[in-house]
Structure 1
């Protein structure tokens, strides 16, 4: 199903369904005491339907849940296409990972029914809905049967109506990093003082994700040896990986010509460059190879067949230069240093966690323009000046400075 179709259904049908369920929930709760979390909850569901990078940013939230409720079984509900990351990171046991397939409308309806029946049989003590504007996640939180539902509320803000049946509501704050806001959802689970989580503890931005993927040293060395055998131009040089694709949101991409200029400079100063991405990014990689014109720049699009292989590739390189998206967040799980471009969205809210990531932003007045209030639809019509105005030469200087503190050189 196309993204625009999903947005249209969510906006119009979703709001209507949320209103109907709100009336039903109010009538069903009439005269009953307010729901409270059990002293030792048995089952907690986390709904994370967003992009795969959001799963990494939710790492501190999962750590807080495990610390606060060690005996609880955590369940995770995601879109099927994003589930690989949760499984790799061990956010829940495989049998507690639940998926919705949004590739076809009828299949999605069937999955909603199947997952809801599974969750209601547990039963759940609470559900944490991490979505900002998705009505399907809000509806799933109610249909799951959990008596305690935690999620974001717009309060008086326009554009975020998701029903009134979230009984532990936390206001979405467009000025705080999303990782801190995820933690506020955990704080709301057993907070007695409401409205809206005023009694929550003061939290600093987490210094790292709290997540890791264990690799055997032999496994990493074997992968590095294969990479060098497949691409001999990388041998004996520091390797810079470049992700120039924009994914589902092309307006998040730094201009290809700027990437080409930086890559040429890196190759001329004795480094090697690998262009990464999905197979769909291969045409862009071929265009960049032509512009760069160096034997020390190789096409790695489609080379990694899983997120695990992508992480091994990051272990075998020294620097990643990337647009805002999943690769920048996955890199925070490895030792690689990262330069990440932000413009339509901001690193102050969605930047990768950890000390090895550097966010690059222009600071233009209209940036950021994508938010929960406009369904991430920009008004720049593809002319993303917020990224175009980040000049290549300073980025090359930042890259060379990062490479001056090498992690390792492949040989």
Structure 2
């Protein structure tokens, strides 16, 4: 389904549904006593949209598991995001419930089946990680869970999601999303007044702080490196010139800028190979980029790798240069340095959850123009925030990284 159609359904069906369920909740609260969540058995996390956001939520899921290791943990997401959990170690116990979003028929069938299963499992706590989409809020109420946690900004107009959350977490646009998700997990044990997330910095700033990393088998990783010829080179630099349709188009750094950086790397470092990554939709764009760089030390993996092989590449990479998209967040599970190129969205909220990163952001007066509050919709047709991020700026940062990391590529 198209994103605009999902927004249409969310508004014209989700809005009245949230109002109706809020009325039901108000009536039930008069006759049913509030249940505690001390003896928690089953927990559900919900994050439907965005591979990057799903990846950022992993820290909160792992923290909850560490705090309550005996709980049965489930995660509801779109089917296209399921593979994220197959890439990460220490999250093997999480059971995935998925919804197909290719068309309305599949979505309705999967939604009905998932809701039936959710009711049957009888969850004690539901964490709604969506920002202001109404469907997860509706699911959290219909689950029958005693404890329902989600974002709730009382005085923010236009984002009514009902009034049936038991833990209302203030959405802070100046806080990193991964930290906001961690707040949700920690808030249920706090006795603070509203908003519940009056929580001081917990010193978790990286997936490694929670022992999260790729679960790649070392021997398989070594074999893949040999099969692809990467073992013949001292270093691997990946470019991710993602060109997915929709708002994300504006997040694309110009292709000729990638080409200029690629030629500079090839010219100055003789022991490094450049890899291009992307899905089948990126094949044509990456093919043009390969022609522009024109080097025997370039490998175009776009459209030719499985999701598991993508994880191999991200794990093997010393450096990733990427637009602000999912692979950049997934790469935070590896050991390489990530250079993310931001413009329409801010790294304050959406940078990879790792200390091994450089977030390039010019802070134009119009940036970020795509936010949670406008559902990432913008009037912009000319992304100067990305075009003005000159290759010389990025190249200067890359040289600093190579020096600091003591990468021996010459």
Name the TM-score class by shorter chain: over 0.9
Alignment partner of 2:178: what SS?
Answer: helix
Q: Is the 8 A contact 1:274 1:299 kept in 2?
A: yes
TM-score, with length taken from structure 1: 0.92
Q: Which residue of 1 aligns with 2:58?
A: 59
Alignment partner of 1:121: what SS?
Answer: helix
Cα deviations by residue, 1:155-211 (Å, 9 ceiling, x for unpaired): 101232111111211111111111111111112223333322155454345233531
* Cα distance in 2 for residues equivalent to 1:76 and 1:36: 22
Q: Which residue of 2 aligns with 1:218?
A: 219
Q: Is the 8 A contact 1:120 1:144 kept in 2?
A: yes
Pairing partner for 2:236 from 231, 235, 239: 239
Superposed structure 1 runs of 4+ greater than 4 Å apart: 90-95, 406-410
Q: Which residue of 2 aligns with 1:281?
A: 282
Matches within 5 A, 1:10-409: 10-37=10-37, 39-89=38-88, 96-197=95-196, 199-208=198-207, 210=210, 211-228=212-229, 235-248=232-245, 249-269=248-268, 270=270, 271-306=272-307, 308-381=308-381, 383-404=382-403, 405=405
* Structure 1 residue 402, shift from structure 2 partner: 2.3
Shifted more, 277-286 versus 81-90: the winner is 81-90
Alignment partner of 1:41: what SS?
Answer: coil
Alignment partner of 2:213: what SS?
Answer: coil
Cα deviations by residue, 1:270-300 (Å, 9 ceiling, x for unpaired): 3432211111101111221232233323321
Q: Is the 8 A contact 1:87 1:94 kept in 2?
A: no
Q: Is the 8 A contact 1:141 1:149 kept in 2?
A: yes
Q: Is the 8 A contact 2:48 2:77 kept in 1?
A: yes
* Cα distance in 2 for residues equivalent to 1:65 and 1:239: 35
C-alpha change, 1:206 and 1:153, in structure 2 (3 Å) is: same
Runs of 5+ consecutive residues of structure 1 not aligned to the other structure = none
* Cα distance in 2 for residues equivalent to 1:403 and 1:112: 48
Runs of 5+ consecutive residues of structure 2 not aligned to the other structure = none
* Cα distance in 1 for residues equivalent to 2:291 and 2:91: 44
C-alpha change, 1:91 and 1:105, in structure 2 (3 Å) is: farther
Q: What RMSD in Å do the two structures reach over aligned CA positions?
A: 2.2
* Structure 1 residue 95, shift from structure 2 partner: 7.8
Q: Is the 8 A contact 1:36 1:190 kept in 2?
A: no
Cα deviations by residue, 1:343-395 (Å, 9 ceiling, x for unpaired): 111111111122211111111111111111111112212x1111111110121
* Cα distance in 2 for residues equivalent to 1:107 and 1:150: 28
Q: Is the 8 A contact 1:49 1:131 kept in 2?
A: yes
* Structure 1 residue 309, shift from structure 2 partner: 1.4
* Cα distance in 1 for residues equivalent to 2:149 and 2:97: 18
* Structure 1 residue 116, shift from structure 2 partner: 1.4
Shifted more, 71-80 versus 293-302: the winner is 293-302
Q: Is the 8 A contact 1:45 1:126 kept in 2?
A: yes
C-alpha change, 1:301 and 1:247, in structure 2 (3 Å) is: same
Q: Is the 8 A contact 2:341 2:359 kept in 1?
A: yes
Shifted more, 59-68 versus 121-130: the winner is 59-68
TM-score, with length taken from structure 2: 0.92
Cα deviations by residue, 1:240-270 (Å, 9 ceiling, x for unpaired): 1101113241111111111111111111113
